[in-house]
Amino acid sequence: MHIQPRWWVGLGVYLAYLGWVFAAWTYLGIDYASLGAQANLLRGVIVPLGIAAMALCAFNALAGWWPQATREPPLRRPLYLAAVLLPMLGFIGMNLYSTVWAAIGMEHVLVLAAAMLLVGFCEEMVHRGILLVGLRHSLRSEAWVWFWSSTLFGLLHATNAFFGLGAAALVQVALAFCAGTGLYLVRRLTGNLWVAMALHALWDFSSIAHGLAKGPQSLGALVFLGGTYVASIAVVVLVLRRGPAAAPAGTT
């Protein structure tokens, strides 16, 4: 590794990413409520996050962090993994099934898919990749690694208050903390950041697509949504209490 992992290095990448997106959205006048519009996806997500993705790849290459940022020895607890994955996949599946795709249009769907792939890559690489590596090499307790990586993921969403979400952003911060906990568990239980990236992208894609079609949220989707948050917190407690301490990410 060319740059020694430290918590402040990961935090620096986090702050740079947050600042870049905040500046881009401010300059472009992005409104959170209309983020799913095709034009806003192109200029407010694909362009700035495409640049961010290249910067994150360059950082990993220069720092030599690719292996540690993307993989670790999996914690083989299939029941724990199922408890987290099933409600996540249930929520995604219910959204995809109930979305009226004809009301969106194929071109819009493809733009949305590309945008959410970038969101999944960038946000996971920052929080469950680079930041996690820095924290694990600086903190002795894996509980603190989970807490701070998930807390910073939640706080990333607080900036939405400045783009039209207002006080509701505080609720989003809490929910994002729970969702981030689930994605932390996916990485740790599978040993693979790419799985967390794919789930993150699918979650956002299904949620925004369903919202664009303006269909009513099904009771099943809400049950799976709540189940994801509850299961994530319950399982992380079990993993941190019963599981072995995580090795620094990328080690074997």
**What residue ranges do the domains of the chain occupy?**
7-242
Q: What are the backbone dihedrals phi and psi of residue 16, each rounded to the nearest 5 degrees, phi first?
A: -65, -40
Question: What pLDDT, on a 0 to 100 scale, did the predictor assign at position 214?
Answer: 73
CB 232 within 8 A of CB 185: yes
Question: What pLDDT, on a 0 to 100 scale, did the predictor assign at position 193?
Answer: 98
Q: Terminus-to-terminus CA distance in the chain, angstroms?
A: 15
**Average pLDDT along the chain, 252 residues, taken 10 residues at a time:** 92 98 96 93 97 98 97 95 98 94 93 98 98 95 97 97 93 97 98 98 96 82 96 97 64 48
Burial of 144 (0-12, 13-18, 19+ CB in 10 A): middle
Q: Report the distance separating Cα 113 and Cα 202, nearest Å.
A: 8
Question: What pLDDT, on a 0 to 100 scale, did the predictor assign at position 157?
Answer: 96
